[in-house]
Chains A and B, each alone.
Chain A
């Protein structure tokens, strides 16, 4: 619990773009979200997960070394209660369905506005 009585969530951001990682961190407006780390691919995300045990993850899909779909499956296997928001440019329905079937809880297409990002986070933490 945080000091104001709201539940706090540890946030991990996964995206191969530095710009996107900074944008997500800067634009999210929830004091209950505490950034514990960022990763540029699925392999690094799994390593970071072991060290930080995040509750909420934003996940890009097209990344080197390990893509987001595979990483979602592995994270959910390690922590079934984890909440994952996919933030990806891939705009076809089949990819969104596959991500949700793997265990993602929300899907936000790039490009996005700050308002869309915060609405997606609000839905994720409801």
Chain B
């Protein structure tokens, strides 16, 4: 079960990522409960969580947003592999930063990456998932947090 303060950890981590890595703040919306199957964009970076908490954290974004994000990071490779690398790195960074509050027993996996708008995102039955909406420039993405 996720508490409001715990969700704030991920909101703050997402805010910090865009401020520092993209050098341009994102507008982070209020988290809301996901209903039905997960809505994802073209690229999704997934971090599995184990240890004292279990579940999954994933960052999903459209290619257009990732392209601009790479430009802001002075990257000049916009290949499919680099898009995959980026969504994995964003998910990894936000999840890893969460250990500041959750502690070292919040164990994060290396990222796995899914592509396409209907991938099989891992979900644990009965576990509630919260969506944190991210609006950056003219693009929208999501961070999804689903933890015991």
Contacting pair A110 B96 (CB below 8 A)? yes
A residues contacting B by CB (< 8 A) are 16-20, 22-23, 26, 62-64, 88-92, 94-95, 109-113
B105 to chain A, nearest CB (A): 9
User: In angstroms, how far is the closest chain B Cβ from the Cβ of A13?
Assistant: 14
Residues in chain B near residue A18, CB distance under 8 A? 77, 81-82, 85
Once bound together, how far apart are the Cα atoms of A23 and B23, in whole Å? 14
| Alpha-carbon distance A95/B89, docked complex (angstroms) | 19
Identify 19 residue pairs between A and B in the complex whose beta-carbon atoms are under 8 Å apart, listed by A's number: A18-B77, A19-B70, A19-B89, A20-B89, A22-B75, A26-B74, A89-B92, A89-B97, A90-B104, A91-B96, A91-B99, A92-B103, A92-B104, A92-B106, A94-B104, A110-B96, A110-B97, A112-B20, A113-B20
Main secondary structure of the interface of B (DSSP, over half): helix
Give chain A's interface secondary structure class.
loop
B97 touches A62 (CB 8 A): no
Q: Is B148 an interface residue (CB 8 A)?
A: no
A17-B85, A18-B82, A111-B20 known; A89 vs B93 contact (CB < 8 Å): yes
B114 smallest CB distance to A (angstroms): 17
A63 to B86, CA, bound (A): 15
**Which residue on B lies nearest to A92, using beta carbons?**
B99
Closest to A114 in B: B74
